[in-house]
Structure 1
């Protein structure tokens, strides 16, 4: 941990503006969160180290073909990622399905022709893409913010607790002051680039360093063409290259529109050090790989690529030095710090959708409900009364409870199918470890996430302010949670029943019939997810009661 003593000694501060909330990072999480907080009447300042917005979202544009090309996040799934689907609808942004029809190519020997394989259900299993590129979502969110809300080119290097406010110290320029701070950054960047006075708890500090940044050390390449010629040959555009000389390890069709122009995207198989070594020759190597897969027409493309390992505000030194790892999420990173005045955001902290755009929005939603909670005691701007009155006309508490109960029953009923969707996605992405455990946990997190979103809509009608609170527990908590009684076991039983009949899992004996140790690990994971959900539900009821009392 950086030594707080190395920072400049405190100096008397002139009277200046203190924001309600300062958000460090203008990626999807930071922008979506700012939008929510400003709608509640809070004064928000977003600071971004880059000169552009979007974080890991970056869309290039090919003048030759007129296509938008996502060199960062590309896909989302309507069936399992409700927040981004709802936000796109709210902002009036269109999306379309990822092109998957046709065979997939597999190249396992550099001296042989690729093998054509049919992938049932497609490789991307119902993925969608934002029309015009993911940057359109960034632009739409930024357009909802007032002038001056976002400052770019301001790299925060330290946070200092000044008592009544927190001081954000940039590398150059004047400090920013706020009552609460959100670090909407990859955890490893927080660990690497920001000093804290006083220091963070050691367990949190170690967890920040241990949490991989999803796709941070990857590079993505896209080649555009006048036509998607591979489709007429019966190819989907999907290809997997699995030999030691691979340049692109995975390829996919990212054409925009209805086939007027074509584009093939892929993840570079070389690690960060190898990419640096072959930097000058990499375009030729990519052309050669595409030509080997799809024929001579693939050598005439316009190449666009971005090496995220060279982006210092995405990729930490630790990420560059280690092999890529799947997204991990630790509940410790979702806990408020500095007595409820500092929060960690970003996709890697999400309980649902970690590593995806959905995760950034889930994280923003969690923090939006966490700022100005009673234990923080720093919110100077009351929540507008109109927001509390919204939904009251829907009926009495009994009616609202009935609506909530129906929602929970529907979510419980859909859970087994969503488990199968998560499992299929893991298999289609060639993942082979802990399939049942990961698919079950993703399903539980999704159900809890949607339940909390439904609770938010019904909170005013539930009349949480007029219910007893005993020892920090809201009187409605037990009544709402009882709807999930027995659900963990039922979900696990349904998953095991499906596994036992799944041909796709027949080559994975440990998944087909998990042993006792695996089942215990799954049970513990589900129990931990349940505890976190139960605490969050109770907290949201308490916040509603406190906010209503203020008004």
Structure 2
């Protein structure tokens, strides 16, 4: 190689949010060469924690919560990294303010508003720091924004910009661990991306990208003394904060109230100078004069160039449901799209970022490189029995997960298409857990006794999928039975007793999710055989 020739890297990961960091940590552990490139000078992407100078509290201005009962990846990762979490403080009533000229209404919320949510002790930044600590610094390049990708066939040539200086990287494979819409708007490709991929990128909204978050700290959580949970919902046209919650970090006796601004990005710009006063006035209307004179912190994510796309800023918030095709390998398996919005489970959440990282890891690391762990099944029969037992356990826990997803969606006021979203979140969780079981069992399932691959179908696929027989219908029937007896859903007639047309639409959604899962399961088994055969031939 000439002295001035740019070396060709094995993998370049663009974006050092949770997805990019988790992927980088795993690739480093597998010994696969890579470079992690980040446009910001800091790591973490949408994860941003600041510390209050007065109270010392950790304040999450980005993602705050995770749900250990329904988000297993982040719960397991926190345990692995030795990071502690605490339940979101919820005891007490919730306040509802629907008229700016009246006192807020106090409502009892059995079980709390946040439905089992937890927070990371010290703020979500602790997770970023722990992941980054496992990646050698020489594998991370910050302050470099990707502007252009040239496909040279054997490798990609990436133009990155640092200030007013441009430089070039080369990589055989590229992972774009960014919100899909940002890729579509900020990165040019030569030749242009296939139209189906470009359309998918443009059509995938970025969760909470145009939101703004406010946090106000106090010397104590005075609202608890009055029997308030700190949760409030403001539903009138003059609202400044649409949703309020107790943001106290629990590390000290101090308190904090957090909230999401009800004003859109344009309104926030127009009222920028007056926002601190408007926020303080609304908190005082909810919780009294003690809410005055706190320490105020605010972040408008709509102004973050590497979070919010123009399309996100100009459109209404939308649920992040990426087309499954976006999760595949593109350009011959050399280009992958990551980020939380592409996840099969937990899209938009920290869980989704980890789900996307795990998916891309499987594509980049050969299944043949996996090793059986102590205590795992050692024969094909034991492995299949273990998988069937996993499916059985997932099926039994699915109704409880559905209830949790319904509660979580209602608490966040995401009541549009509630049953569909809760059911899809439930099946996505089950499919994610069972695919993880397949990955763990792959050293045994790939031992050579599984039967042939015929017309693209692995010999084990029918046997493994049989464990799900009747699954969709049974889950839908259970959900409809629960909805019909739920007092909380009685305020939503279309969800309380869905009509035949809505049931048909839900059934189609579940069928589509099932098809994607079945194809993915078969694809992993077939890929394992293909990679093993290639490795044996190479040997």
Q: CA deviation at 1:309?
A: 0.7
Query: What residue number does 2:398 align with?
Result: 415
Query: What residue number does 2:525 align with?
Result: 541
Task: Report the Cα distance in structure 2 between the residues aligned to 1:464 and 1:541, rounded to whole angstroms.
Answer: 11
SS of equivalent residue, structure 1 residue 250: strand
Task: Report the Cα distance in structure 2 between the residues aligned to 1:140 and 1:259, rounded to whole angstroms.
Answer: 23
Query: What residue number does 2:40 align with?
Result: 50
Task: Report the Cα distance in structure 2 between the residues aligned to 1:113 and 1:513, rounded to whole angstroms.
Answer: 34
- Given candidates 186, 193, 202, the residue that maps to 1:193 is 186
State which drifts further: 520-529 or 12-21: 12-21
SS of equivalent residue, structure 2 residue 110: coil
SS of equivalent residue, structure 2 residue 138: coil
Instruction: Say if 1:188 and 1:208, in contact at 8 Å, map to a contact too.
Output: yes
Equivalent runs, 1:27-38 vs 2, <5 Å: 27-38=17-28
Task: Report the Cα distance in structure 2 between the residues aligned to 1:142 and 1:456, rounded to whole angstroms.
Answer: 25
Instruction: Say if 1:18 and 1:179, in contact at 8 Å, map to a contact too.
Output: yes
- Given candidates 469, 473, 476, the residue that maps to 1:492 is 476
**Is the aligned partner of 1:355 residue 2:348?**
yes
**Is the aligned partner of 1:262 residue 2:255?**
yes
Deviations 1:486-524 (A, max 9, x none): 111111111112122222222222222222221221111
Task: Report the Cα distance in structure 2 between the residues aligned to 1:154 and 1:364, rounded to whole angstroms.
Answer: 21
Q: CA deviation at 1:464?
A: 4.4
Task: Report the Cα distance in structure 2 between the residues aligned to 1:110 and 1:431, rounded to whole angstroms.
Answer: 23
Task: Report the Cα distance in structure 2 between the residues aligned to 1:219 and 1:316, rounded to whole angstroms.
Answer: 15
Give the 3 Å change call, closer, same or farther, for CA 235–254 of structure 1 in structure 2: same
Task: Report the Cα distance in structure 2 between the residues aligned to 1:464 and 1:120, rounded to whole angstroms.
Answer: 51
- Given candidates 111, 117, 130, the residue that maps to 1:121 is 111
Supply the RMSD in Å over aligned alpha carbons.
1.8
Instruction: Say if 2:113 and 2:411, in contact at 8 Å, map to a contact too.
Output: yes
Stretches of 4+ moved more than 4 A in 1? none
Segments of 5+ residues of structure 2 without an aligned counterpart are: none
Deviations 1:427-472 (A, max 9, x none): 2222322111111111111100000111111111223444322222
**Is the aligned partner of 1:230 residue 2:220?**
no
SS of equivalent residue, structure 1 residue 388: coil
Query: What residue number does 2:8 align with?
Result: 18
State which drifts further: 429-438 or 307-316: 429-438
State which drifts further: 101-110 or 88-97: 101-110
Query: What residue number does 2:500 align with?
Result: 516
- Given candidates 160, 174, 191, the residue that maps to 1:170 is 160
Task: Report the Cα distance in structure 1 between the residues aligned to 2:523 and 2:10, rounded to whole angstroms.
Answer: 21
Task: Report the Cα distance in structure 1 between the residues aligned to 2:333 and 2:364, rounded to whole angstroms.
Answer: 8
SS of equivalent residue, structure 2 residue 329: coil
State which drifts further: 192-201 or 461-470: 461-470
SS of equivalent residue, structure 1 residue 173: strand
Instruction: Say if 2:57 and 2:251, in contact at 8 Å, map to a contact too.
Output: no
Instruction: Say if 1:464 and 1:541, in contact at 8 Å, map to a contact too.
Output: no
Deviations 1:145-195 (A, max 9, x none): 122111001100111111111111113332111111110111110110011
Query: What residue number does 2:386 align with?
Result: 403
SS of equivalent residue, structure 1 residue 281: helix
* Paired positions, count: 530
Give the 3 Å change call, closer, same or farther, for CA 546–36 of structure 1 in structure 2: farther
Query: What residue number does 1:376 align with?
Result: none
Query: What residue number does 1:7 align with?
Result: none
- Given candidates 446, 451, 454, the residue that maps to 1:463 is 446
**Is the aligned partner of 1:219 residue 2:212?**
yes
Instruction: Say if 1:211 and 1:329, in contact at 8 Å, map to a contact too.
Output: yes
Equivalent runs, 1:56-67 vs 2, <5 Å: 56-67=46-57
Task: Report the Cα distance in structure 2 between the residues aligned to 1:486 and 1:200, rounded to whole angstroms.
Answer: 40
Query: What residue number does 1:432 align with?
Result: 415
Instruction: Say if 1:191 and 1:208, in contact at 8 Å, map to a contact too.
Output: yes
Task: Report the Cα distance in structure 1 between the residues aligned to 2:455 and 2:75, rounded to whole angstroms.
Answer: 38
**Is the aligned partner of 1:303 residue 2:286?**
no
Deviations 1:69-95 (A, max 9, x none): 000000000110000000000111000
SS of equivalent residue, structure 1 residue 320: helix
Task: Report the Cα distance in structure 2 between the residues aligned to 1:465 and 1:23, rounded to whole angstroms.
Answer: 34
Q: CA deviation at 1:539?
A: 1.9
Deviations 1:244-272 (A, max 9, x none): 11111111001012661100000011111
**Is the aligned partner of 1:203 residue 2:196?**
yes
Query: What residue number does 1:326 align with?
Result: 319
Task: Report the Cα distance in structure 2 between the residues aligned to 1:310 and 1:470, rounded to whole angstroms.
Answer: 52
Instruction: Say if 2:50 and 2:61, in contact at 8 Å, map to a contact too.
Output: yes
SS of equivalent residue, structure 2 residue 137: coil
Deviations 1:314-346 (A, max 9, x none): 011111112222322221211221111101111
**Is the aligned partner of 1:136 residue 2:123?**
no
**Is the aligned partner of 1:73 residue 2:56?**
no
Task: Report the Cα distance in structure 2 between the residues aligned to 1:383 and 1:50, rounded to whole angstroms.
Answer: 36
SS of equivalent residue, structure 2 residue 213: strand
SS of equivalent residue, structure 1 residue 175: strand
Query: What residue number does 1:5 align with?
Result: none
Name the TM-score, length of structure 2 as normaliser.
0.95
Give the 3 Å change call, closer, same or farther, for CA 458–279 of structure 1 in structure 2: same
Instruction: Say if 1:161 and 1:197, in contact at 8 Å, map to a contact too.
Output: yes
Task: Report the Cα distance in structure 1 between the residues aligned to 2:491 and 2:376, rounded to whole angstroms.
Answer: 55
Give the 3 Å change call, closer, same or farther, for CA 507–257 of structure 1 in structure 2: closer
Task: Report the Cα distance in structure 2 between the residues aligned to 1:229 and 1:535, rounded to whole angstroms.
Answer: 54
SS of equivalent residue, structure 2 residue 345: coil
Task: Report the Cα distance in structure 2 between the residues aligned to 1:175 and 1:476, rounded to whole angstroms.
Answer: 45
